Structure 1
Amino acid sequence: MTRKVHCVVDNIEIDGLDFPPWPGAAGKRVFNEVGKPAWQRWLIHQTMLINENRISPMNPEHRAFLEKQMMKFLFEGGAEKPPGYVPND
């Protein structure tokens, strides 16, 4: 049976994640309050941040930056785009 959550990003009842996607309190909050579609949108944004900023998820400083951006994206209505970023629409 699929676990349901009230997704704070999309403001709907929807399928929740299968496991906490991030360590610590941030991961628990995402697990409890974010649905799968919103998480997928974050992963796309995170990939853009990693590629455009040449971030290494293994670097603790870079990982802290990604966590901060994740929390902004999911709980504060948006995260920053890299300087000079132009989407390929």
Structure 2
Amino acid sequence: MEKIFCFYFKKMENSNLRIYPGKLGNKIFTKISKKAWIEWLKVQTILINENNLNMSNDEDIKKIECKMINFLFKK
């Protein structure tokens, strides 16, 4: 397993899979560890449930994406 310098947890194991599409997905793949991604998924689930977000709604997707960027890269 390849190690990366994770923005969130520092030096950690990266994910084997590209877990998000596009340029942001590439940044996540190269700068966010598997452990940080799992932590984000827990927070994301809470945010979706508490705010009653609909992940088929573009506006709600943008809200979650903004929260994800803040969580992963602005610690």
Q: TM-score, normalised by structure 1?
A: 0.78
1:65 Cα deviation after fit: 0.9
Number of residue pairs matched by the alignment: 75
User: Greater helix percent: which structure?
Assistant: 2
Cα RMSD of the aligned pairs, angstroms, is 1.0
Gaps of 5+ in 1: 78-89
Given the alignment, which residue of 45, 58, 61 partners 1:60? 58
Alignment identity in percent?
33
4+ long deviations beyond 6 Å: none
Superimposed CA distance per residue, residues 22-73 of structure 1 (whole angstroms, 9 cap, x where no aligned partner): 1111111111101111111100000000000111111111111111110000
Q: TM-score, normalised by structure 2?
A: 0.91
1: distance between equivalents of 2:62 and 2:2? 28
Higher RCO, 1 vs 2 (CA within 8 Å, ≥6 residues apart): 2
Residues 1-89 of structure 1 mapped to structure 2, 5 A cutoff:
2-12=1-11, 14-77=12-75
Structure label with greater radius of gyration: 1
